[in-house]
Amino acid sequence: MLIGSALGLLAAGCASFPEQPGPAGWSAAQQLTPQAGPVPELPGELPKGPAQGQQPGQQPTPVPPPQGCKDFNPAVVGTCLNPISGVALTDVNQTTGAVTALAAERATGRLLRVTKDVDPVEVAKLDVDAATDGGLTGLTLSPTYGEDQLVFVYVTTATDNRVLRLAPDDVPKPVLTGIPKGPTGNRGVLAYDRTGALLVATGDAGNPAAAADPNSLAGKVLRIDATGQPARGNPTAGSRVLASGLKSPGGLCVSGDGTKTWVTDAGATADLLYRVEPGRALGDPAWSWPERPGVAGCAAFSNAVMVTASATPGVLSLPMNPDGSFTGKPEPSMTGDDGFGRLGPLLMLDDTTALSGTVNKNAGGAPVSSDDRVVIIVRPGGPVPGKD
């Protein structure tokens, strides 16, 4: 969604998810028109490549290397964190354009507030079991965050995987518990659709049969309300299940117009990107990567889907037609000094930019002194002129 739209949602609404329309079956998401908010202007000037307005033959503006936790790249929002599993935009200063965000750390269970050149502030520290691929793996804000300040997280506990709701000055409250836990497949990620329903992608807990079982919460894309109950308008009345067939999801993203939902997965033999079709098993992926770059977060732009790669540096962008079909192979970018190394979570801010977090401190990474970082990514190429 647009940054302005995101902040409009932060500033509008009431203290719970909006009521859903109640058709007998699934219907297209309602088109909301939240009020516009400010667009952040990064302090300083980003080094420009050809896709960002640089003239051919012109040298990019050099950025000094980090000095400890001080990072001179204006796209860096937070520094010196542990590998980041979730990011969320909470505020844009209307005077300075400074961005404030939340960052989740998978292994520590910490949720931190970060702003450039300000020490991170611990908002919450959750008791998580990160011994497998679980921990604190999912993060999203209430659609009415500006009013209610509610944050939703996906965590692995000693007994299960679950969704929790965090409110200021209150203990975490369970929203959905009993999601199966296993030796693998404990990652879960969160998003919300344009009607305000919470989307939850769950792993299969190491049991592929559970992903195909309609009575199990494992290996699914779930659609729930703020109390954890099935959202109105789900494909099967009384069921939380929107789609099934996941193994270990890493990213969940909804297009700005609400018409397309995508989920990434670490499949049995390849990294995968699925388009979520309500009421159906995920089936054949929209794209697969047998080479396994570690596909993680995703962002659905107007004419491309971008995914991060947690095992290799940079991002991958799939050019997309209006109907959601892809027009060519994934285009890698930010793989060298113009990037931030390995990236995990990804959140679209508008059709030009996204918010991400690095995972360079994970095994095999090459961290710099300011890692791990929350960063703003300027999309290579940007939208096609004249298209929404």
CA dihedral 3, 361, 188, 15 (to 10 degrees): -40
Question: Which residues is 154 bridged to in the sheet?
Answer: 138, 163
Are 357 and 351 a contacting pair, CB within 8 Å? no
Task: Over range 185-200, report the average pLDDT.
Answer: 96
SS3 3: helix
Digit-coded pLDDT (tens) for 124-143: 999 999 999 999 999 999 99
- pLDDT at residue 370 is higher than 70: yes
β-sheet bridge partners, residue 87: 103
Question: Which residue shows structure tokens 């969320």?
Answer: 88
pLDDT in tens, 236-295: 999 999 999 999 999 999 998 999 999 999 999 999 999 999 998 999 999 999 999 999
User: pTM score, two decimals?
Assistant: 0.85
Sheet holding 261-266, edge to edge: 249-254, 261-266, 271-275, 287-289
pLDDT band at 2 (very low <50, low <70, confident <90, very high): very low
Per the rule left: phi > 0, alpha: psi between -120 and 50, beta: everything else, 302 is alpha
DSSP state of 256: T
Strand 136-141 relative to strand 118-125: parallel, antiparallel, unpaired?
A: unpaired
Among the listed residues 208, 343, 217, 328, the one whose alpha carbon sits nearest the alpha carbon of residue 268: 208
Neighbours of 310 (CB within 10 A): 26
Give residue 61's pLDDT.
72
- Indicate if the pLDDT at residue 92 is higher than 50: yes
* Mean pLDDT to the nearest integer, 86-98: 91
Residues 270 and 258: beta-carbon distance below 8 Å: no
CATH number for 3-15+72-378: choose from 3.40.50.300, 3.30.1360.120, 2.120.10.30, 3.40.1280.10. Answer: 2.120.10.30
Q: What is the percent of the chain with per-residue pLDDT over 90, rounded to a whole number?
A: 77
| Residues paired with 264 in a beta bridge | 251, 273
Q: Pull the structure tokens for residue 260.
A: 């397309």
Q: What is the pLDDT of residue 57?
A: 53
* d(C-alpha 204, C-alpha 211), whole Å: 5
Q: DSSP 3-state assignment of 88?
A: strand
H or E element at residue 212: helix 208-212
Segment 24-48, tens digit of pLDDT: 334 333 433 333 333 444 433 333 3
Q: For residue 286, how many other CB atoms are within 10 A of its CB? A: 18
Name the residue ranges covered by the structural domains of the chain: 3-15+72-378
Q: Is the pLDDT of residue 114 over 50?
A: yes
